[in-house]
Amino acid sequence: MTRKGQVTLPATIRRRLQVSRGDVVRFDIEGDIVRVTRAQDVVHATAGVVKSSRPPLSPDGERRLIEHLIAEDVLRRSGG
């Protein structure tokens, strides 16, 4: 680990996750275990970040909800 807290993923892990320089990875912590996954996009990268009393949405469900909310906002702003 560097002074900035950065770590290098070994080549075998990078190949397994199919990540390369500039890609975004996600770190999930469960107890003492850290899981590293490739972040597909902003929805996948942020899935589960917002805490709620409702059951969590899947990344696809989250994407549909966000797209719906954006469409509603566009219609509201355009007077539709």
pTM value is 0.47
**Which regions of 1-80 does DSSP assign to beta strands (E)?**
25-30, 33-38
Q: What is the pLDDT of residues 13-50, one digit of tens each?
A: 999 999 988 888 888 899 999 999 888 766 666 666 66
Q: What gap in Å lies between CA 44 and CA 46, rounded to an integer? A: 6
* Mean pLDDT, all residues of the chain: 85
Q: Is 5:11 a contact under the CB 8 Å cutoff?
A: no
Structure confidence at residue 53 (pLDDT): 80
Q: What gap in Å lies between CA 78 and CA 73, rounded to an integer? A: 9
